[in-house]
Amino acid sequence: MQKAYVNALYEIMGSDKRVCSLLSDSGTDYDVLMAREYPEQCFNLGIAEQNKVAVASGMAKMGKIPFVYTTDAFLAYRAYEFIRNDVCFQRRNVKIVGMGMGLSWSTLGASHHTTEAIAALRALPNLILLCASTPIELKKQVRFAYEHDGPVYLRIGMSAEEELFDEKYSFTLGKPVQLLNCGEDFTIFVTGTIAANVYHASEKLCEDGYCLRLYNMPTMNPIDSKAVLDAVGDSKTVVSVEEHSLNGGLGGAISEILAESGASVSLKRIGLNNCFAKGYGMIEEVRKQNGFDINGIYQQIRNHINGGK
């Protein structure tokens, strides 16, 4: 997914000299190539994320379009005050790109996980919050961020995410995207790079005879409430799955929409229940330890549908 981001930004930078890339000593071959090609549009601010966000705000004030890119945890948590005060409060045209959503930094543990980031970021006024599930979706979101005049935060993966879309895919702000449809009894919502695992778990449920629809939520702020309610329809129950805390994440957002609409449908939230993720290792190993592997998700949804059996 990092390659998809760099390619999308590289193309935009070539056509618009206002667009700049702000880095933090990431030191990849992509960074070297981009800096060599566009030296006047690339800036390495070092391991100083708060300062980098403040610099980006100043650049935006002067008419530039800065893309601030580094580890998600160092932006969503460490630079939160600067995102709030220097970007959102000022409505600056800054694009913030957090690399490694959820458990992506699986070998480094909870200090690098961003399993509370949605809750923190979607509370900020004026900030569009996007969570890319696949490389193609990310490319579309980068283009949207560039064309939108105002603060945008993109959360991206870094683990060779499986592609679920083709190039015809069109991103629409706030709208859920249907990934699977084998009936209308149950509706499942997912956000972020865990989408592929939920997709395959849902396929297994369809094979078992369960009637369900699966929707991806690429936008976490703002969310089109009517579109979510239309997706739910007359479902018997709704399930949300997220590589995130249950407090303030996707499930919380869906529950707010359902409660405010007066919908009489139950909601099962699957995520981290008031805890940090456990374990270290490759991403799928850590997901398995926390119930986010394909079989773990399948079992949790199936058990809920069957009334806990």
Burial class (CB in 10 A: 0-12, 13-18, 19+), 99: buried
- Mean residue pLDDT of the chain comes to 95
Q: Quick one: pLDDT band at residue 223, thresholds 50, 70, 90? A: very high
- How far is 191 from 225, CA to CA, in rounded Å? 16
The DSSP code for 132 is: -
Angle between helices 2-15 and 135-147 (to 10 degrees): 30
For 62, the token pair is 């002067």
pLDDT for residue 84: 98
Task: Give the percent of the chain with pLDDT over 90.
Answer: 91
- E-state strands within 163-235: 177-181, 186-190, 212-216, 219-221
Task: List, for residues 148-189, the tens digit of each pLDDT value.
Answer: 999 999 999 987 899 999 999 999 999 999 999 999 999 999
Q: Quick one: pLDDT band at residue 32, thresholds 50, 70, 90? A: confident
Per DSSP, the three-state class of 257 is helix
- How far is 93 from 91, CA to CA, in rounded Å? 7
Name the β-bridge partners of 267: 238
Q: Quick one: pLDDT band at residue 35, thresholds 50, 70, 90? A: confident
Q: Which residue has the higher pLDDT, 36 or 84?
A: 84
Task: List, for residues 245-263, the tens digit of each pLDDT value.
Answer: 999 999 999 999 999 999 9
Q: Quick one: pLDDT band at residue 11, thresholds 50, 70, 90? A: very high
Q: Which residue has the higher pLDDT, 3 or 30?
A: 3
Pairing state between β 177-181 and 212-216: antiparallel
- Angle subtended at Cα 102 by Cα 92 and Cα 159, rounded to the nearest 5 degrees: 100
Domains of the chain: 2-156 (3.40.50.970), 177-305 (3.40.50.920)
Pairing state between β 128-131 and 219-221: antiparallel
Mean pLDDT of 105-132: 97
Q: Which amino acid is present at 111?
A: S
Q: Quick one: pLDDT band at residue 239, thresholds 50, 70, 90? A: very high
Per DSSP, the three-state class of 80 is helix
Mean pLDDT of 197-206: 98
For 177, the token pair is 């995207």
Burial class (CB in 10 A: 0-12, 13-18, 19+), 260: exposed
Going by C-alpha positions, the residue among 123, 307, 149 that lies closest to residue 220 is 123
Query: Rounded to the nearest 5°, which phi and psi values hold at 52?
Result: -65, -40
Q: Which amino acid is present at 16?
A: D
Per DSSP, the three-state class of 259 is helix
pLDDT for residue 309: 52
Q: Quick one: pLDDT band at residue 25, thresholds 50, 70, 90? A: confident
One-character DSSP codes across 115-126: SSHHHHHTTSTT
Cα-trace Rg, the chain:
19
pLDDT for residue 196: 98
Judge contact between 118 and 131, C-beta under 8 A.
yes
pLDDT for residue 307: 83
Task: Decide if pLDDT at 147 tops 90.
Answer: yes
Judge contact between 127 and 88, C-beta under 8 A.
yes
Helices and strands, number each (H, E), in the chain: 12, 12
For 249, the token pair is 């994440």
Query: Rounded to the nearest 5°, which phi and psi values hold at 87?
Result: -110, -60
pLDDT for residue 43: 93
Going by C-alpha positions, the residue among 137, 78, 75, 71 that lies closest to residue 105 is 71
Task: List, for residues 289-308, the tens digit of each pLDDT value.
Answer: 999 999 999 999 999 999 86
